[in-house]
């Protein structure tokens, strides 16, 4: 597939204007780490903004970074680490800032750090027909018109190409520790009840991983409370999170989301290779390619009021689009020629 790689904002806008005029369908890509999230798109070429990769502004005392979309998350993290700060998304190697925002790929630590959509304060977008649009503001609070940053977060490149974002940062935790223990969802629930303020509680079929981050004395206190709640606790200091990744190596990986209390019902339909964020309601499950496993898991997620999009391998998003007429009008307004990843979005928009 052809790859269009504009070297500037002006070139990006020109490329989109030309593609709209010619009806040339484009798949916006960043680091290509989240491309499996989405239904199959019918496109003629890919478009990448990895050349737009500057850190535009970072005043450490503001806890805000303004970043071009093509910047790699790892590069941003390195720059922020020098100031004891982070944009907490824990993206895979190679992922770009714009790609993570477009895919709304939240951190597994979201119990504490929140979903990625809460961290995008301002967005600069080039629409399908090449118009440059800005929404939001470079302040931590802002109510001025419609929240375009939230509209764009998770839009999977179907409304426009993200050129730049302003991100709300967090202080980097002073201490980080994972506790591993035997037991599945029940042990995880016991830990969630006993330990205040964890960063994540991850349960698998037979193990549990409790993530603790913050002041060293609090992490020590939390560790003691965890030991009182479950037996066989093993401590991993300064390890990456998560260390339990049972879905790894499976051809299809689903990232299901259900109301948190319904996880036990969801995992009944998730096979053996699953890991669930207790207290959040996210569950990753590794599935075989083909067969009925995906359909069964999707049906269960649907019954429980959730969704089960595939994030690796084939299978697309599933789910039912609410307010389809509103969605269609938004798509029409931002991408009037319908050239941006047609078919990729929920409802095959």
Partner 1 sequence: MKSDQGSQRIWRRRPPSVSVEQLARRDLERVLGPDAVVADPLGRALYGRDASMLEGACALVAFPRNRDQVEACLEVAAAYDLPVVPRGSGTGLAGGATPIGDALVVVTTKMDRVIEIRVADRLAWVEPGVLNLDLNQRLAPLGLTFAPDPSSQQTSSIGGNVATNAGGPHCLAYGITSNHVLAVELVLPSGEVVVLGSEAPEAPGLDLRGLVVGSEGTLGVVTAVCVRLTPLPPAVRTLLAGFGSVADAAATVTAVIGDGITPAAMELMDSRAIAVIEPFAQAGYPTDAAAVLLVEVDGLPGGVAAEAARIEELARANHADSVQSARDEAQRARLWKGRKSALGAVAVIAPHYYLHDTVVPRSRLAEVLALVDEIVARHDLVAVNMFHAGDGNLHPLLVFDRGIPGTLERVLAASDEIVRVCLDAGGSLSGEHGIGLEKRDLMPLAFAAEDLAAQDCTRAAFDPERRMNPQKVLPAGARCGDFALARVGELQQAVARLPEGSWI
Name which of residues 142 to 161 contact partner 1 (CB under 8 A): 142-148, 150-151, 153-155, 159
Distance of closest approach, residue 85 Cβ to partner 1, in angstroms: 7
222 binds partner 1 (CB under 8 A): yes
Complex with partner 1: residue 4 or 257, whichever CB lies closer:
257
317 binds partner 1 (CB under 8 A): yes
227 binds partner 1 (CB under 8 A): no
Complex with partner 1: residue 40 or 171, whichever CB lies closer:
171
82 binds partner 1 (CB under 8 A): no
Question: Considering only residues 127, 178, 199, 204, which one is a binding residue for partner 1 as defined by CB under 8 A?
Answer: 127
In the region spanning residues 241 to 260, those forming contacts with partner 1, defined by CB under 8 A, are 255, 257-260
Q: Find residue 28's DSSP bridge partners.
A: 47
Distance of closest approach, residue 226 Cβ to partner 1, in angstroms: 13
Distance of closest approach, residue 70 Cβ to partner 1, in angstroms: 22
Question: Given the structure tokens 């290779």, which residue do they identify?
Answer: 273
Nearest to 170 by CA among 326, 62, 22: 62
Question: Considering only residues 5, 14, 236, 321, which one is a binding residue for partner 1 as defined by CB under 8 A?
Answer: 321
Distance of closest approach, residue 219 Cβ to partner 1, in angstroms: 8
Contact 294, 220 (CB under 8 A): no
14 binds partner 1 (CB under 8 A): no
77 binds partner 1 (CB under 8 A): no
265 binds partner 1 (CB under 8 A): no
Applying CB under 8 A, the span of 43-51, 56-64, 74-82, 268-276 interacting with partner 1 comes to 56-64
Question: Considering only residues 21, 235, 289, 326, which one is a binding residue for partner 1 as defined by CB under 8 A?
Answer: 326
Contact 330, 151 (CB under 8 A): yes
Distance of closest approach, residue 98 Cβ to partner 1, in angstroms: 17
Applying CB under 8 A, the span of 22-30, 45-53, 94-102, 139-147 interacting with partner 1 comes to 139-147
In the region spanning residues 268 to 297, those forming contacts with partner 1, defined by CB under 8 A, are 279-282
Question: Considering only residues 59, 231, 234, 248, which one is a binding residue for partner 1 as defined by CB under 8 A?
Answer: 59
Question: Considering only residues 40, 78, 196, 290, which one is a binding residue for partner 1 as defined by CB under 8 A?
Answer: 196
Distance of closest approach, residue 2 Cβ to partner 1, in angstroms: 28
């Amino acid at each position: 597939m052809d790859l269009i790689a504009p070297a500037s904002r002006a070139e990006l806008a020109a490329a989109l204007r030309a593609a709209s005029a010619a009806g040339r369908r484009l798949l916006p890509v960043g680091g290509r780490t989240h491309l499996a999230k989405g239904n199959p798109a019918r496109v003629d070429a890919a478009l990448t903004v990895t050349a737009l990769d500057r850190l535009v502004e970072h005043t450490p005392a503001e806890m805000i970074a303004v970043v071009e979309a093509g910047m790699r998350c790892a590069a941003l993290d390195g720059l922020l680490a020098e100031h004891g700060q982070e944009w907490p998304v824990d993206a895979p190697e190679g992922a770009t800032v714009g790609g993570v925002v477009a895919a709304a790929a939240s951190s597994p630590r979201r119990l504490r750090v929140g979903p990625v959509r809460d961290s995008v304060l301002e967005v600069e977008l080039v629409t399908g027909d090449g118009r440059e649009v800005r929404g939001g503001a470079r302040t931590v609070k802002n109510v001025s018109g419609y929240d375009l940053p939230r509209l764009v977060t998770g839009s999977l490149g179907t409304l426009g190409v993200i050129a730049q974002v302003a991100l709300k940062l967090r202080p980097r935790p002073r201490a980080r520790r994972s506790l591993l223990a035997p037991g599945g969802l029940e042990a995880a629930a016991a830990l969630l009840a006993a330990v205040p303020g964890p960063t994540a509680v991850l349960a698998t079929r037979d193990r549990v991983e409790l993530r603790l981050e913050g002041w060293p004395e609090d992490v020590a206190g939390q560790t003691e409370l965890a030991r009182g709640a479950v037996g066989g606790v093993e401590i991993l200091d300064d390890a990456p999170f998560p260390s339990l990744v049972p879905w790894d190596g499976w051809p299809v990986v689903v990232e299901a989301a259900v109301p948190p209390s319904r996880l036990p019902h969801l995992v009944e339909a998730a096979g053996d290779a699953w890991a669930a964020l207790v207290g959040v309601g996210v569950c990753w499950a590794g599935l075989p390619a083909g067969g009925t496993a995906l359909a069964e898991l999707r049906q269960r997620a649907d019954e429980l009021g959730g969704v089960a999009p595939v994030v690796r391998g084939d299978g697309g998003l599933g789910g039912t689009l609410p307010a389809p007429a509103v969605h269609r009008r938004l798509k029409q307004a931002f991408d009037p020629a319908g050239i941006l990843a047609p078919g990729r979005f929920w409802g095959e928009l």
